[in-house]
């Protein structure tokens, strides 16, 4: 089945230790998104790739970066995680822009020790 | 200011009743509207989307859109205990990047009592 796959499902890292979360998709969608969702809060858009065009939201911390080496893969790098970065990180894809439905992966729950 | 407002709930309805979930949004120019269901600890799952004023039905679900009032709702008929979840409303807004992207509300928690 075509899908959006996030690895790992659970990630534990130490305060200040860089961590990378990955997302892959078999849907061949041209847009990929990264969201951060904290408990009982709305998913918050961090950035998205429209094809190779990177779009970073103004309030996304500099600590967060992303790479999209090809259509299928997208990575979220957190350079120096702080306690406030503990959250669920959601990857989503869509074909075309925001008028189209987004399909989410299962998410990666990040814990910071 | 990009805002999507939802009552956090919980909204409690008996099994078999109609659940009505509401959402208001701040951008009059928004063009597309989505409802997602999110079970605790899971990722959002698309339920419905709507682009035009009026009603759109899919099985037990009906989305209603009123752009003049900046209001979108989701009706769930014959509610089942398995419908108990948080329902997220998402609206496309112009973001800082100059592109439109989805802004999510914080969700309404629905509890269907057996």
Encode pLDDT of B59-86 as tens digits.
999 999 999 999 999 999 999 999 999 9
pLDDT of residue A2: 61
pLDDT of residue B27: 86
Identify all chain B residues contacting A108, using CB atoms and an 8 Å cutoff: none
Overall average pLDDT of the A62-70 stretch: 95
Q: What is the pLDDT of residues B13-63, one digit of tens each?
A: 999 999 999 999 998 888 899 999 999 999 999 999 999 999 999 999 999
Please check the confidence at residue B101 and state whether its pLDDT lies above 90. Answer: no
Identify all chain A residues contacting B107, using CB atoms and an 8 Å cutoff: 42
Overall average pLDDT of the A92-107 stretch: 90
Interchain proximity A42–B101, CB inside 8 Å? no
DSSP code string of A22-37? EEEESS--SEEEEEEE
pLDDT band at A90 (very low <50, low <70, confident <90, very high): very high
CB distance B41 to B48 below 8 Å? no
Residues facing A104 on adjacent strands: A92
Is the Cβ of B108 closer than 8 Å to some Cβ of chain A?
Answer: no
Q: What is the pLDDT of residues A26-65, one digit of tens each?
A: 999 999 999 999 999 999 999 999 999 998 888 899 999 9
Identify all chain A residues contacting B9, using CB atoms and an 8 Å cutoff: none
Reduced to 3 states (helix: H, G, I; strand: E, B; else coil), residue A69 is coil
**Cα(B32)–Cα(A9) distance, integer angstroms:** 30
**Cα(A108)–Cα(A21) distance, integer angstroms:** 7
Residues 6+ apart with CB under 8 A from B69: none
**Measured between CB atoms, which of B4, B49, B99 is closest to A50?**
B99
pLDDT of residue A99: 83
Residues facing A6 on adjacent strands: A23
Tell me the HSE value of A3 on the side-chain side, using a 13 A CA sphere. 7
pLDDT band at A77 (very low <50, low <70, confident <90, very high): very high
CB distance A75 to A66 below 8 Å? yes
């Amino acid at each position: 089945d075509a899908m959006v796959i996030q690895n790992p499902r659970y990630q534990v890292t130490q305060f200040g230790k860089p961590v990378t979360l990955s997302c892959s998709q078999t849907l061949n969608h041209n847009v990929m998104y990264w969201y951060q969702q904290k408990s009982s809060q709305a998913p918050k858009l961090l950035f998205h790739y429209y094809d190779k065009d990177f779009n970073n939201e103004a309030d996304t911390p500099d600590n967060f970066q992303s790479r999209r080496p090809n259509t299928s893969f997208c990575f979220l790098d957190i350079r120096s995680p702080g306690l406030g970065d503990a959250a669920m990180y959601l990857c989503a894809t869509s074909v075309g822009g925001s008028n189209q439905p987004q399909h989410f992966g299962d998410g990666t729950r990040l814990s910071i020790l | 200011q990009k805002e999507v407002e939802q009552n956090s709930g919980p909204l409690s309805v008996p099994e078999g009743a109609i659940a009505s979930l509401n959402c208001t949004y701040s951008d009059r120019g928004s063009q597309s509207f989505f409802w997602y269901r999110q079970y605790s600890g899971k990722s959002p799952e698309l339920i419905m989307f709507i682009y035009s004023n009026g009603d759109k039905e899919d099985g037990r679900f009906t989305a209603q859109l009123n752009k003049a009032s900046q209001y979108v709702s989701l009706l769930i008929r014959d509610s089942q205990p398995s419908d108990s979840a948080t329902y997220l409303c998402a609206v496309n807004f112009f973001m800082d990047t100059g592109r439109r992207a989805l802004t999510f509300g914080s969700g309404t928690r629905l509890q269907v009592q057996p």
